[in-house]
A and B are shown apart, each in its own frame.
Chain A
Amino acid sequence: SQQGEEDPQALSIQEGENATMNCSYKTSINNLQWYRQNSGRGLVHLILIRSNEREKHSGRLRVTLDTSKKSSSLLITASRAADTASYFCATDLNDYKLSFGAGTTVTVRA
């Protein structure tokens, strides 16, 4: 089974609204990374948060990590049409590979 599980599977919001998606994982991690994928193309790296960090920001993105609950959240503020994409969390267990969840599909309506 996959290490990371995103929730919800799909999200539809109005332009300008915030979008929040969650990721839960099973075992202790080295770091957790969020990626974006547009229409089945390559993945774009968004943020990496290490196991000893609790929150990171990058532009309109905010990521939190709660290692006690084995969960992370990605918040996109003031969403735009260009944010329409699939978002994946990936866990790094310090074993050279990333384990991805099935992703959250975000649709931003104009």
Chain B
Amino acid sequence: DAGVTQSPTHLIKTRGQQVTLRCSPKSGHDTVSWYQQALGQGPQFIFQYYEEEERQRGNFPDRFSGHQFPNYSSELNVNALLLGDSALYLCASSAQTGTDKNSNTDTQYFGPGTRLTVL
């Protein structure tokens, strides 16, 4: 059973460019969350996708956008890259609990991350 996978592993971009990161959730999971982790810090929540819609968003500018596909995989897009966007980007998947689609999910399982460096 494959866990959460992310691609690419590493990425180097220059300021002003755009980047797309990809995530495939763990088998059986329908919810994908994205986090940004700066060096020496804990992960910061960017947003969560469920049923192909963004249903919760953290304190990140509109330059950060995402998408979820019918197979539950997800993309994170960052436009107009800044030096401060350099970080480890983590994807986490989870399964909706219960029949209420507005209910929370439990344990989030994280992928290995994509290390983005902006020069």
Residues from chain A with a CB closer than 8 A to the CB of B92 are 43, 98
Residue of A nearest to B102 (CB): A96
Q: List 6 A-B contacts (CB under 8 A).
A: A4-B42, A30-B104, A40-B39, A94-B104, A96-B48, A96-B104
Judged by a CB distance under 8 angstroms, whether A26 is at the interface is no
- B40 in contact with A92 (CB, 8 Å): no
Residue of B nearest to A43 (CB): B110
Residues from chain A with a CB closer than 8 A to the CB of B55 are 96
- B48 in contact with A43 (CB, 8 Å): no
A88 to B42, CA, bound (A): 7
- B112 in contact with A97 (CB, 8 Å): no
Residues from chain A with a CB closer than 8 A to the CB of B33 are 96-98
- A101 in contact with B110 (CB, 8 Å): no
Q: Considering the complex, which residues of chain B in the window 74-119 have a beta carbon less than 8 Å from any beta carbon of chain A? A: 88, 90, 92, 104-113, 115
Judged by a CB distance under 8 angstroms, whether A44 is at the interface is yes
Q: How far in angstroms is the closest Cβ of chain A from B68?
A: 14
B25-66 Cβ-contact flags toward A at 8 Å (1 or 0)? 000000001010001111111001000000110100000000
A61 to B16, CA, bound (A): 45
Q: Which of B40, B43, B48, B111 has the most CB of A within 10 A?
A: B43
Judged by a CB distance under 8 angstroms, whether A102 is at the interface is yes
Residue of A nearest to B40 (CB): A102
Interface residues of B (CB under 8 A from A): 4, 33, 35, 39-45, 48, 55-56, 58, 88, 90, 92, 104-113, 115
Interface size on A, residues (CB 8 A): 26
- If A48-B106, A96-B104, A97-B56 touch, whether A42 touches B111 (CB-CB below 8 Å) is yes
Residues from chain A with a CB closer than 8 A to the CB of B111 are 42
Q: Which of B42, B48, B109, B115 has the most CB of A within 10 A?
A: B42
Residue of B nearest to A40 (CB): B88
- If A42-B110, A45-B108 touch, whether A97 touches B43 (CB-CB below 8 Å) is no
- B110 in contact with A35 (CB, 8 Å): yes
A101 to B44, CA, bound (A): 9
A96 to B34, CA, bound (A): 11
Residues from chain B with a CB closer than 8 A to the CB of A41 are 112-113
